[in-house]
Structure formats: structure tokens, C-alpha cells
Amino acid sequence: MKRIYYILALLFPLASCNEWLDFTPPGAVDEDKMFEDERGFQEVLAGSYSLLTSPSAYGMELTAGFPDEIARYWAERSEFFNFKYEDAAVVGRLASTWNKMYETIANLNLLLDHAKKWTPETMPHYNLIVGEAKGLRAYLHLDLLRLFGPVLPDGIDRPAIPYRDEFSNNITRQMTAREVLVKIETDLTEARTLLVNDPIHENGRSIENASIANDPGNKAFAYIFRGIRMNYHAVCATLARYHLLTGNKPEALARAKEVIDAKEIFQLGNAKTSSQDYMFQPELVWALYDAEIDKSGHLGNTSFSFSYSVNDAFRSFVYKEQGYGLPDDSRLNHWWGTTGTTPAMEYLSKYFRVMNNDNDVTKWEKVISMIRLSELYYIAAEALIGTDNAEARRLLQEVRNARNLSTSLIPETLSGDELLEQILAEQRKEFWGEGKLFYTYKRLFHDIIIRDSKIPASRAIFELPVPKEEIEYGNN
């Protein structure tokens, strides 16, 4: 099926966008005018980030939605809970997510297509813009593969998803997982090279350099807020995910350590020192800014907590009973709230902003975690199992210490298999409402833990169906 993609980036303008570009409705944009200077590229890049905050993407669905319901974080709210992926509502939600992800990829492909006419000599921030776009394109395809692709490594040569790397209405065939993985690695490797001189190395996660901030040409967009975009370290972190998925543990460890060792930029969050920073912002390797996070259908709206209810017995198991848990865990005491209704109900408050007499007292921006520093610790620890269990244990304990569990040490006597289960236990505590636990269960082909029993791992559970229209038209 042919799809026409538009430059939806124009719906997310930078400051004073209309002063330099005559606005025309999406679908009627003069592409040459849009990309006549660097500012147009920045606009489309900003718009791509904005598209990802849609509720059908990371603004809800891929963060607290169906991957978390499959992982049984939530009480039953749809047929995802029962793994009935043929249900009409489930089919519709999967299609909406698929379409929004590829819509964003189309935006990035349009940018990259026009970037071929430029060079680092003719566009001052060419490497930053192209590096970010390629990193984002690879990140999105990797998530699509982890959702809709086959269980690996057995399914490496089975049909997976299309890898769309051209801006075109032409049909893109459904590639095998092996073919998609090659393209993901190519994009990430090129992005890492392009971003090697990322300003994040010098300026950190946010803008502090006044000379850049006051740039009269407003080209500072290429520099600012490096911690909530696809920066150099975010590319390294995505490569760490990629290499762990493909079984290349030495490379996964190397890329994870590169991020962990950037301690002047990223630090593990500690509730004792940042009691109002619910998101532990210093540890976000990259995130999405969602201006609508508190609106209906998004993560920070009160309806979210009532729609996605939690089984308190399972929550107690996750934080207190399994894997050397303690009630002092700052994730339990920091990320959850209680309603004043009778009976009281526990809800995930990780994305909520707290108001006090109409003043916002929460010290975090409206951001959605895409990659946390803690995940890099988990990747590094898993990659070390079997070669250096002591270091794997140390890395895991370092995250636990930051989560107020320093009095509960992981025993030195744990075997490799036991260490892996402990990593999974920590991920269950860490990633509630972030959509990441499903990927770990699928990658390891691990049973889904539901406190008093287990749901056996199966391809039927982990391989989400590609929308039928893609299969019908993509293979003709």
C-alpha cells in the first residue's frame, strides 16, 4: 500500500518559526524552501522528536502501554493481557503504533535525502544533524524489530520488518531480521562517527554556554539540550542494546562502559539528594520532551493511573520480596502515590508533576525516559556474566546503592544464572511504566514472572503480528 508522508515537523516549530518561513499546510510544503538552509533541517529534526511523543508512540503506548501489559505490570485492561493479538482493538493499537513510528522514520528520511546535497563545509552543523537523524532512524527500527520481529537467534532469517532508509512512496519489502540488523548497525556506526565531536562532551546535558545560547542566528538548537536527544552517548547506548540483542557481549560491554564512564555528564539518581526529581534526570542518557505529558491520553494525566491499575500484591513482590528487595527501595517510595479515595489505590506517579498551592514544586522537566544510565549498568553486568562475575555483581550493586539498597548486598556466592535472575529482578523494579521489560523477556526467551507462578515463554506471546496491510502489500 502506498503512503504519502508529509513534513509534519512544521506542526512543532521552533521559536519564531513563522518569522523566517511562510507557513503552508502540511502536504503542500515546498521542500526546496524547507531545506534551503540549516534551520529547515533543524525544524524537521525537532518535528521528528515531537512525533515520537504521540500517545500511539512513546507518549503512552510504547512507554506504559501494551509492552508493559504483556509483561504483566498492569492488571487486565485489554486483550494484550491475555495475548489475544487478533482482537480488533489490539490490532488497531498495533497498527497505530506501527504507522506513527514509520511516519517519523519518513520525516527522518526526507531530511537525510536533502542532506545529500550538503556537506560539513556548506552546513556548519551537518555532522550533528545527520548523525542525530541516522541514530534516531536506527533506534526506531530497532524497537520495531524488537516488537514485531522474530525471537532471536532462531528467527534470524525469518521475515521481520521493512527497513525504510529512503524517502519514497515505493513499497518497501519485509526484510529478514538479519538484513534489518545489518542496516541498524550501519546507521548506528555512521551516527557514532558523525557525533564524535558532540557538544555534550564539553557542555554536558543542557545548555550553559552563554555565547551559544545568545547566538543571534538561533543555530543554538544544534547544541542545546543534548541530554534529551539522540546525542553521541545515546548512540553508544543504542549500540549496547543492539550488541546484546545479537549476542556480541564484548561490544555490548564496551559501548555500555563508554556511557557509564562519562560520569561528568551522567550520574545515577539518588532519591536522598534529589527528592523532587521523580525522573532522576541526571541519569537520562536521552529522553523525549513531551509538552503534552499532562494532557488526556498521555503519561502524566490523572486518567493514566486509573486506566493502568496495578495489583498491589505483585508490586509488593517486585520491590520487597524478590531479588534481595527492601521496603526502603527509593523506586517504591519515590515513583508511587496513593489516592485519597476509599478504598485507597496505589498508582504510578513517575510521570506526575506535584502542585503546591498552584505552584509546581516538582523538579523535573516534562520528559519521557528513552534510555536510562541504569540500563547501561544492567547491560554491562549481563555481558560480564561468565567472564567476571565479581564485576557484574559490583555494577549491579552500584545501581542498588543509588536506589537506597546499600544495606542489602548481593551475595558474592551467586552463580552466573543467579546473577542473571537478579538483573531481571532489578529491571522489574526499574522499568515499571517504561516499556522495556518486555524486550528483555523476549530477548532471553524468559518466562513472564507473575509472583506466584510463571507464564511460559513462547513465540506466540513475544512475536507481535505485523499489520496485515504491510504483509498484503509489502510482498507484492
The string of pLDDT tens digits covering residues 253-312 is 999 999 999 999 999 987 655 567 878 888 999 999 998 998 888 888 878 877 888 888
401 and 315 in a common domain? yes
Q: Are 309 and 345 in contact (CB under 8 A)?
A: yes
Mean per-residue pLDDT, 361-377: 90
pLDDT in tens, 410-447: 999 999 999 999 999 999 999 999 999 999 999 999 99
- Closest to 281 in 3D by CA, of 358, 216, 363, 207: 363
Q: Are 106 and 162 in contact (CB under 8 A)?
A: no
| Amino acid identity, position 197 | N
In a domain, 422, yes or no: yes
In a domain, 91, yes or no: yes
6 and 134 in a common domain? yes
Q: Are 241 and 442 in contact (CB under 8 A)?
A: no
Specify which residues 338 forms β-bridges with: 346
321 and 469 in a common domain? no
Query: Phi and psi (nearest 5°) for 76?
Result: -60, 125
Query: Phi and psi (nearest 5°) for 219?
Result: -90, 5
416 and 296 in a common domain? yes
Return the pLDDT at 214.
53
pLDDT confidence tier of residue 12, bands split at 50, 70 and 90: very low
- Closest to 423 in 3D by CA, of 404, 453, 398: 398
Supply 245's cell numbers: 540483542
| Angstrom distance (rounded) from CA 73 to CA 66 | 10
| Angstrom distance (rounded) from CA 3 to CA 149 | 22
281 and 179 in a common domain? no
pLDDT confidence tier of residue 225, bands split at 50, 70 and 90: confident
Return the pLDDT at 7.
43
| Angstrom distance (rounded) from CA 4 to CA 159 | 24
149 and 109 in a common domain? yes
Q: Is 36 left (phi over 0), alpha (psi -120 to 50) or beta?
A: alpha
284 and 185 in a common domain? no
Instruction: Say whether pLDDT at 27 is over 50.
Output: no
The tally of domains found in the chain comes to 2
What sign results for the dihedral spanned by CA atoms 102, 105, 111, 114?
Answer: negative
| Amino acid identity, position 275 | S
In a domain, 152, yes or no: yes
| Angstrom distance (rounded) from CA 290 to CA 225 | 14
107 and 178 in a common domain? yes
- Closest to 380 in 3D by CA, of 188, 235, 250, 283: 250
pLDDT in tens, 313-359: 899 999 999 889 999 898 998 888 887 777 777 888 888 877 676 67
- Which residues, 6 or more positions from 188, have their beta carbon under 8 angstroms from its beta carbon? 134, 135, 138, 235, 238, 239, 242
Q: Are 238 and 185 in contact (CB under 8 A)?
A: no
Place of cell 517486585: 318
Return the pLDDT at 57.
97
Instruction: Say whether pLDDT at 1 is over 50.
Output: no
Instruction: Say whether pLDDT at 196 is over 60.
Output: yes
Q: Are 198 and 227 in contact (CB under 8 A)?
A: no
In a domain, 392, yes or no: yes
| Angstrom distance (rounded) from CA 272 to CA 405 | 12
Length of the chain: 476
336 and 369 in a common domain? yes
In a domain, 225, yes or no: no
In a domain, 76, yes or no: yes
162 and 22 in a common domain? yes
Supply 167's cell numbers: 524517502
In a domain, 214, yes or no: no
Return the pLDDT at 8.
41
| Amino acid identity, position 423 | I
Q: Are 419 and 313 in contact (CB under 8 A)?
A: no
Supply 395's cell numbers: 555494577
Instruction: Say whether pLDDT at 117 is over 70.
Output: yes
Supply 278's cell numbers: 521523580
Q: Tell me the residue range of the domain where 364 lies.
A: 263-444
Return the pLDDT at 472.
55
- CB < 8 Å & 24+ apart, contacts of 401-407: 402/268, 402/269, 402/270, 402/374, 403/271, 403/329, 403/330, 403/331, 403/429, 404/270, 404/271, 404/272, 404/326, 404/328, 404/329, 404/330, 404/333, 405/324, 405/326, 405/328, 405/329, 407/326, 407/328
| Angstrom distance (rounded) from CA 207 to CA 225 | 6
328 and 183 in a common domain? no
pLDDT in tens, 35-76: 998 989 998 999 999 999 999 999 999 999 999 999 999 999
Where residue 164 sits, what CATH number does that domain have? 1.25.40.390
In a domain, 213, yes or no: no
Q: Are 276 and 413 in contact (CB under 8 A)?
A: no
5 and 153 in a common domain? yes
| Angstrom distance (rounded) from CA 54 to CA 416 | 40
What sign results for the dihedral spanned by CA atoms 24, 30, 35, 36?
Answer: negative
Mean per-residue pLDDT, 196-201: 93
